[in-house]
Chain A
Amino acid sequence: MLKLSTRMLITSLMLSAAPSAFADRIFVSNERDNTVTVIDSDTLKVIKTIPTGKRPRGLALTPDYKELIICIGDDSRLDVIDTEKLEVTKSFAASGPDPELLAISHKGDRIYVANEDDGLVTVMDRATGNAITEIPVGVEPEGMAVSPDDSLVVNTSEQTSMAHFIDAKSNKVLANILVDTRPREATFTKDGKEVWVSAEVGGTVAVIDTKTYEIKKKLSFDVPGVRPELMQPIGIRFTLDGKTAFVALGPSNRVAVIDAATHEVKSYILVGQRPWHLELKPDGTKMYVANGMTNDITVIDIASLKAEKSVPVGRLPWGVAVKPSGK
Chain B
Amino acid sequence: MRTPCLALLLSLILTATASASPAQPSALDVTIGYLGRDYREPLPVSLVEPAVSDEGVQGARLGLSDNAATGRFLNQTYQLQERITPRNGDVAADAKELLKVTKLIVADLEPEDLLRVADLPEARGAIIINARSSDDDLRGKDCRQNVFHVAPSWAMRADALGQYMAWKRWNHWFLLTGDAKADAQYAQSLKRAAKKFGSLIAEERKIAFDPGNRNSETGHQQIQTQIPMRTQSPPQHDIVFVADTDDSFGDYLLWRTSVPKPVAGTQGLVAVAWSPVYEEYGGIQLQTRFRAKSKRAMTERDYLAWLAVRVFGEALTRSGQTDAAGWRTYIMSKPFQVAGFKGQGLSFRPWDRQLRQPIILTGPRTLVSVSPQEGFLHPTYLTDTLGVDEPETECKLRG
Residues of A participating in the B interface, judged by any CB pair closer than 8 Å:
116-117, 119, 138-140, 157-162, 164, 176, 178, 181-182, 201-203, 215, 227, 229, 232, 251
Contacts and interface: CB of A to CB of B under 8 A. Distances in A.
A207 to B, nearest CB: 13
B25 interface: yes
B343 A251 contact: yes
A160 B69 contact: yes
B243 to A, nearest CB: 31
Given A181-B345, A215-B22, A201 B74 contact: no
A139 B66 contact: yes
Contacts of A140: 282, 285
A120 B317 CA distance: 22
Contact of B70 (A160, A201, A202, A251): A160
Contacts, number: 62
A182 B69 contact: no
Interface string B277-295: 0000010010011001000
Contacts of A158: 282, 285
Interface of B: 22, 25, 66, 69-70, 73-74, 282, 285, 288-289, 292, 314, 317-318, 337-339, 343-345, 382
A229 B70 contact: no
B69 A159 contact: yes
A159 B22 contact: no
Given A138-B69, A182-B339, A229-B343, 11 more contacts: A119-B69, A139-B70, A139-B289, A159-B66, A161-B317, A181-B338, A203-B345, A227-B382, A229-B382, A232-B343, A251-B343
A229 B344 CA distance: 6
A202 B344 CA distance: 8
A116 B345 contact: no
A139 B22 CA distance: 22
Nearest to B318: A178
A251 B374 CA distance: 14
Contact of A201 (B66, B339, B382): B339
A227 B338 CA distance: 18
A41 to B, nearest CB: 32
Contacts of B69: 119, 138-139, 157, 159-160
30 contacts: A116-B285, A117-B288, A117-B289, A119-B69, A138-B70, A139-B66, A139-B69, A158-B282, A158-B285, A159-B285, A160-B69, A160-B70, A162-B70, A162-B73, A176-B74, A178-B22, A178-B25, A178-B317, A181-B338, A181-B339, A181-B345, A201-B339, A201-B344, A202-B337, A203-B345, A215-B22, A227-B382, A229-B343, A232-B343, A251-B343
